[in-house]
């Protein structure tokens, strides 16, 4: 039986137009979802498609309000018994953040796949059509059921939690750091080698009016702790992008210690692309830090924001980071 797949367009390079044949200097969001689908190989017998354009933005301009709007819409569509899966076309710059957000918020018993492109639709070697075609094919696969949000890019299948953009110009732009891809697509056929590493819960967004503001404080040599003053009175949560295993200077640690009770929840993460940020007595003893585990700062931000829609209890936040 042919599956009903709903495609949501959000803009990005996959929908961009520029000088004919060129891969740079283009305008994102020039084409809507219906126009993108017109350029695909035949899907007869593979999927019955419906589509919508929820917004048309370059993904670096995506707002928290739009992210929430997308998450609520995906939850709504997947609750429809007539729909078997959803595909989201998205800009690549923040695709990894949206993928993890949807992984945490969308029901896992139906397929959900995100994809994009590194080259605009008007390029002579546009990669968007094949990525979108394979994303739709994966969304029809029984193997993808229960996997949470997945990302399809350049024949690879990636978990929404683990995926990360690793190149800003190559078509093979995504990877999953230490853990590798989940599998591959050969034309329209999926071949899985492993499953996601963590559970894919559903944070209910139906009653959420806005996402809590979580900011990332990026540590570097000579970074002043004064930056934390800016976040102290504006943020609902802070993620520290530390060096190494999530380390910060003694100045930063002293500032945080002296302002305990005045600061929002703080997650300690690492700006390094691979590895773990775990509890270390020399760093965490007597400090209000919540280690991010294997989540990089951008994804720790997503999880902290969603947890804060439910609780501000430090222990509950810590348990969420250990679980998800």
**Distances, alpha carbon 174 to alpha carbons 167, 196, 260, 293, in Å:** 7, 16, 38, 21
Active-site choice (2, 10, 13, 115): 13
**131/39 Cα distance (integer angstroms):** 12
**Distances, alpha carbon 234 to alpha carbons 63, 213, 261, 264, 300, in Å:** 17, 8, 15, 9, 18
**Distances, alpha carbon 115 to alpha carbons 41, 171, 282, 295, in Å:** 16, 12, 41, 21
- For helices 64-78 and 95-105, angle between their N-to-C axes, nearest 10 degrees: 40
Are the CB atoms for 189 and 133 separated by under 8 Å? Answer: no
21 DSSP assignment: B
Beta partners for residue 238, in sequence order: 215, 266
Nearest to 177 by CA among 275, 278, 301: 275
Pair of tokens at residue 87: 């595909």
Nearest to 305 by CA among 278, 248, 268, 265: 265
Are the CB atoms for 29 and 3 separated by under 8 Å? Answer: no
Classify strands 156-159 and 266-270 as parallel, antiparallel or unpaired. Answer: unpaired
Are the CB atoms for 54 and 90 separated by under 8 Å? Answer: no
Pair of tokens at residue 301: 């931000």
Pair of tokens at residue 307: 């947890």
Question: Can you give the length of the chain in residues?
Answer: 324
Active site residue 197: no
Residue 223: phi and psi, rounded to 5, are: -65, 130
**Catalytic residues, which ones?**
13
């Amino acid at each position: 039986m042919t599956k009903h797949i709903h495609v949501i367009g959000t803009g990005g390079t996959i929908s961009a137009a520029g000088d004919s044949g060129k891969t740079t200097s283009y305008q994102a969001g020039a084409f809507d979802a219906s126009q993108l689908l017109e350029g695909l190989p035949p899907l007869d017998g593979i999927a019955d498609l419906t589509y919508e354009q929820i917004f048309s933005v370059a993904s670096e301009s995506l707002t928290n309000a739009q992210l929430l709007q997308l998450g609520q819409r995906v939850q709504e569509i997947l609750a429809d018994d007539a729909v078997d899966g959803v595909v989201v076309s998205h800009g690549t710059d923040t695709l990894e953040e949206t993928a993890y957000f949807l992984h945490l918020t969308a029901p896992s018993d139906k397929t959900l796949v995100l994809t994009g492109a590194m080259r605009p639709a008007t390029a002579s070697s546009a990669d968007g059509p094949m990525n979108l075609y394979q994303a739709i094919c994966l969304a029809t696969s029984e193997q993808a059921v229960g996997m949470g949000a997945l990302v399809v890019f350049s024949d690879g299948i990636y978990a929404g939690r683990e995926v990360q953009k690793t190149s800003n110009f190559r078509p093979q732009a995504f990877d999953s750091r230490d853990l590798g891809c989940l599998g591959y697509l050969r034309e329209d056929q999926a071949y899985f080698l492993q499953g996601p590493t963590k559970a894919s819960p559903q944070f209910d967004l139906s009653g959420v009016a806005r996402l809590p503001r979580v900011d990332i404080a990026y540590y570097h040599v000579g970074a002043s702790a004064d930056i934390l003053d800016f976040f102290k009175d504006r943020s609902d949560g802070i993620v520290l992008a530390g060096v190494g295993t999530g380390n910060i200077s003694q100045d930063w640690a002293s500032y945080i210690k002296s302002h305990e009770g005045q600061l929002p929840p703080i997650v300690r993460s690492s700006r390094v692309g691979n590895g773990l940020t775990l509890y270390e007595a020399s760093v965490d003893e007597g400090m209000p830090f919540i280690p991010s585990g294997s989540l990089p700062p951008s994804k720790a931000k997503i999880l902290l924001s969603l947890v804060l829609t439910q609780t501000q209890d430090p222990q509950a936040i810590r348990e969420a980071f250990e679980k998800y």
